[in-house]
Amino acid sequence: MIGWGEVVSPEPKTWARLEESLAALLIGVDWEHPDTVQSGEFAVDMACWDLWTRMRGVPLAHAIGGTRTSLMATVRLAPDPSVESLVSRVNQQVCAGYGHVTLDITPGWDVEPVRAVRQAYPALTLAVDCGGAYTDLGQLVALDSYGLEVIERPFPTGDVASHAALQDEVAASVAVEVTSTAELDDYLTLRAARVLLLRPTAFPSMSEARRAHDRAAAAGWDIQCAGGQGAGLARAATVAVASLPGCTLPCDVTQPPRQNQIVTPVVGANAGVIAVPLTQPGLGHTVDESRLQRLATEVFHA
C-alpha cells in the first residue's frame, strides 16, 4: 500500500473524510492492531490490515481466519438486447471454464431469458440478481421452476417480510445483502433468506464483515462474497474474506475489467477459479504506484 504520507484519492466521500479527520487520526499514531483504529471507513481499515499483516509476514486471508486456497467463481451477466445474444454470452463463459452464472434481471427481463439459458444449459448452476427491483412475489415464484440455485436481492433492502414470504414459496435460496450485523439479525429472526450476499466494502471494517460471516454461518446460511468495484484492492480484500470457511458459494469479483486494476497480479478468475494469494503477506498484491500516480486527480501530502 502507499504510505500514509502520500495518499492518492480514493472514493470522493472517503477522500473528504481523509482530509478532514482520518489523516489526523492515523498519521503519526501508534496502534497495535487494525481493530484499535476504528476509522469507520473500509478502505482505511483494509489499508491498516494490509500494513499489519505485511509487517508480520502473513497473508491477510490467514490473519482473518481463512482456510481456502482457491475459490470457485461466478460470472455476472447484465441484461442483453436479445435472448439469443444472452445465450451466446453464456456460452462464451461456459467455454471459458465457468460452471456458475449469475444473470442480472429486472421486471420484464426475467422469465424469458432465464428459460432460454436453462433450456440451452440444463446442468448449469444458475442464479439471478434482482437488484431489489421487484415488488410482486408472483414474477419471482415463476422463476423457481427453472432450477435456480439463488435468487439474490429480490426486494428493496429492509423489506424483511417480503423476503420471508418469497423464501417460503420457492425452493431456491433467497440471498440478502446487509451493511451491519444488526440488519442481518432482522433477516435471521424471520428466517427471511438462506444466503448472505457478503460485500465486505459495505461494512465499516474487515472485522465487522467477519462478524456478519460468523453470524450467518452459525445460523446455517450459505454465504457468497462479492466485491467487484474499484481498482483491485477491494477485490483482493473480498477474496481474502471469501476464503473464510462459511463462504460456501462461488465468489463474485468479475467487475470491473482487468485493465482497470492498479494491482499486480490482477484479481480475477482463471477458468472459473480464483486463487487465494497465500505465498505473499498482506493482500498478496502489489500496487503499481507509477500507474496510480498517472491516474490520480488529487494527492494528499502529510
Asked whether 253 and 228 are in contact (CB, 8 A), the reply is: yes
State pTM to two decimals. 0.88
The radius of gyration of the chain's CA atoms, rounded to the nearest angstrom, is 20
pLDDT computed for residue 30 by the predictor: 76
Asked whether 165 and 186 are in contact (CB, 8 A), the reply is: no
Q: How far apart are CA 255 and CA 101, in angstroms?
A: 14
Per-residue pLDDT of the chain in tens (302 residues, 90 and over written 9): 334 334 444 555 666 766 666 666 666 677 789 888 887 888 889 989 999 999 999 999 999 999 999 999 999 999 998 999 999 999 999 999 999 999 999 999 999 999 999 999 999 999 999 999 999 999 999 999 999 999 999 999 999 999 999 999 999 999 999 999 999 999 999 999 999 999 999 999 999 999 999 999 999 999 999 986 667 888 999 999 999 999 999 999 876 566 678 888 888 888 999 999 998 999 998 887 877 777 777 665 55
pLDDT computed for residue 231 by the predictor: 77
| Residue whose C-alpha cell is 444466503 | 195
pLDDT computed for residue 5 by the predictor: 38
Q: Which three cell numbers, joined as nine digits, stand for 277?
A: 494469494
pLDDT computed for residue 251 by the predictor: 95
pLDDT computed for residue 40 by the predictor: 83
In single-letter form, the type of residue at position 74 comes to: T
pLDDT computed for residue 197 by the predictor: 98
- DSSP labels, the chain: ---TTEEE--SHHHHHHIIIIIHHHHTT---SSGGGT--S-HHHHHHHHHHHHHHHT-BHHHHTT---SEEEB-EEE---SSHHHHHHHHHHHHHTT--EEEEE-BTTBSHHHHHHHHHH-TT-EEEEE-TT----HHHHHHHGGG--SEEE--S-TT-HHHHHHHHHH-SSEEEEE-SSHHHHHHHHHTT--SEEEE-GGGSSSHHHHHHHHHHHHHTT-EEEEB---SSSHHHHHHHHHHTSTT--SPBB---S-GGG--EESPP--BTTEEE---SSSBTS-EE-HHHHHHH-S-EEE-
pLDDT computed for residue 11 by the predictor: 56
Asked whether 214 and 188 are in contact (CB, 8 A), the reply is: no
CA distances from 218 to 63, 203, 222 (A): 20, 19, 10
